Structure 1
Amino acid sequence: MTPTLLPLHPVPRLSLDPTPSRRAVVNGAWWPRSRDAAAELPGLVAAGDQRLGRTTLLVGLHPDAWRHIPDRIPARGRLVRVGRFRGADPHVVVLFFAAVEPVALLLIPPDTAAGPAQNALTRAARHTADLTADDLLALTRLPTAV
């Protein structure tokens, strides 16, 4: 029997607003499989770079929302810095790029059931200019605890 090889970084469960608004608190959502930043962030950066056609320079996150946070993560032959921002919303992860606006993603807790998580992925990828991250969590019935 041949063993099944899993990809190093499974395809991230990621949604992005096709026309992001500067006024929006989030421009999409991300549903990681764990709270292990070292394991999850490389896949997010790779998918974000590919879907947005940009090169991520920094990932910003709240340190209380993650375990195993590295200072840098590998991404297409380079290292991307990881910033720990205590003043940031723990329900949001931000991708920073050179010379363009950052992209903020609603962080869907890894243990969220598929139905609510898919709902959050869909809603966060729509125009959310009038909603906060907490509003989105409430609308999609996601847990608010970090």
Structure 2
Amino acid sequence: MTSASSSPSPLPAPREVRLRLAEPTRFGRTARRIDGAWWPRSDDLARELTALLGVLPRAWGRISSVLVNGDTWPDCPEQMVIAGQTVHVGHTDSPTAPHTVCLLAPGRGRYDLLVVPPATAQAEADLLMERAVTQGA
């Protein structure tokens, strides 16, 4: 088992995390299958995930597990320590979700984010992120 510390290198400031979230319903969840869109700056999942989890809404609760596509993120630790908490990272090879990340929060639910590849051009990324939060991808 491999693990990564949350402090191997400086993290992006929260304002630098490129994240758009869909509006929650009155029950606190979105009525969509996609809860938002995330545009990481690199393929370094340990670094990017640490920054992402640091800016999620408090209402989502503590994320304890993350499920990523193994083809998209082949080099990721099985667990990470983020803000003193262990986060388990699992892989899926589902062909239906190659560009999503699933975040699990005990007692709160599951949150699915569309992942825009890091090398995507700004205009295309903006369009993909807007569609994800307005149309549910």
1:15 aligned to 2:24? no
Q: String of CA shifts for 1:39-67, please: whole Å, max 9, x gaps.
A: 2111111112x454511010111111014
* 1:42 partner letter: T
* 2:51 partner letter: G
1:95 aligned to 2:100? no
| SS in structure 2 of the partner of residue 102 of structure 1 | strand
Q: Which runs of 5+ in 2 are unaligned?
A: 1-8
Contact 1:16–1:29, Cα closer than 8 Å, also in 2: yes
Q: String of CA shifts for 1:81-100, please: whole Å, max 9, x gaps.
A: 10111226111101100112
Structure 1 residue 80: Cα displacement: 0.6
Structure 1 residue 116: Cα displacement: 1.2
Distance in 2 (alpha carbons) for counterparts of 1:52 and 1:31: 21
* 1:44 partner letter: L
**Residue equivalent to 1:80:** 87
Structure 1 residue 111: Cα displacement: 0.3
Contact 1:28–1:126, Cα closer than 8 Å, also in 2: no
Structure 1 residue 27: Cα displacement: 0.8
Percent of counterpart pairs with the same letter? Answer: 31
Q: Which runs of 5+ in 1 are unaligned?
A: 1-6, 129-135, 137-146
Q: Which has the higher helix share?
A: 1
Distance in 1 (alpha carbons) for counterparts of 2:11 and 2:59: 18
TM-score of the superposed pair, with normalisation by structure 2: 0.78
**Residue equivalent to 1:123:** 131
Asked which structure has the greater CA Rg, the reply is 1
RMSD: 1.9
Q: How many pairs align? A: 121
Distance in 2 (alpha carbons) for counterparts of 1:124 and 1:33: 18
Q: String of CA shifts for 1:65-117, please: whole Å, max 9, x gaps.
A: 01420111222111211011122611110110011221100010100011111
Distance in 2 (alpha carbons) for counterparts of 1:124 and 1:38: 24
Runs of 4+ in structure 1 displaced over 6 angstroms? none
Distance in 2 (alpha carbons) for counterparts of 1:52 and 1:126: 20
